[in-house]
Amino acid sequence: MEQFAALAFVFVAGLITAIATGIGAIPFFFVSDVSDRWNVALWGIASGIMVSASLFGLIFEGLANGTPIQLGIGLLAGVVLVLAAHHIIEGAEVNPKNYEEADFRKLALILGILTVHSFPEGVAVGVSFADLGLEGGFQLLGFAVPLLAVFMTVAISIHNIPEGLAISIPLRTMDVPNWKLVWWAIFSSLPQPLGAVIAFYFVRIAREFLPFGFGFAAGAMVFLVLTEFIPEALELGERLPRGGKVELLGGLAAGFVIMIPLAFI
């Protein structure tokens, strides 16, 4: 029963990060468009948060719980998984407006794409809860919650907001209703609570793999930043002065500034 309660607790944490994605659609209740300048800056913030969370949270904890070799193997495994997943679904484009009409094959493709983008973030949350209920942390709903878990949950939640905005922008041009923008943004991150539970359960029954798990989550997230978030930001900033690099770098710096105080706490 205690194990089930812990799994439920981690699932809720992952669900919170997924729901945070829906916040990215909220601006469209008040404005009809978001400028490229702001969009690039937000992608930069998301990237800065992901990298700083990986560095100050996952990598530091990985080194504290294992050797650099174990961490390095985990990092490489995270990169390989994302590469393999991208290769499998390469060239696939899915329009969220057609989700309701998706047949089984389309649905499998949709879920595959969402998993590539969201599952590693869920894994990061799940691994960070490895010490849930053990000594240390602070009390919440009868659980001793590790500070790393709070750090990662907050980091992924903040990071998900620009992702929700990025998902909502093309749908807004298709006249998708605002409340549906919120739903599709949240839907895009639903693999996160699943990834959180799977990762948490795995590192709890096989704690010797914990440093590999920290490395895996960090490798996958940093690789997503380098291969998806930053290229997406640069593509959006092509028409801006200096190709949007000023906005991107400013966003990256802001993302680091946001997360550094949490890292020291």
Taking the CA atoms of residue 87, residue 171, residue 17 and residue 187 in that order, the dihedral angle to the nearest 10 degrees is: -70
pLDDT of residue 96: 56
> How many of the other CB atoms lie within 10 Å of CB of 142?
9
Each residue's pLDDT, cut to its tens digit, for the chain (265 residues) gives 577 888 889 999 999 999 999 998 888 888 777 778 888 888 888 888 888 888 887 888 888 888 899 999 989 988 887 787 777 666 555 555 555 555 545 545 555 555 566 777 888 888 888 877 666 667 777 777 888 888 889 888 987 888 788 778 767 767 778 888 898 888 888 889 988 999 888 888 777 778 888 888 888 888 888 887 888 888 888 888 888 888 899 989 988 887 777 666 5
Residues sharing a CB contact under 8 Å with residue 193, sequence separation 6 or more, in sequence order: 11, 12, 13, 14, 15, 17, 18, 122
Structural domain including 129 reads 1-263
Residues sharing a CB contact under 8 Å with residue 42, sequence separation 6 or more, in sequence order: 161, 162, 165, 166, 251
Q: Model pTM?
A: 0.76
Residue 163 has which token pair? 């992702």
Question: How many domains is the chain built from?
Answer: 1
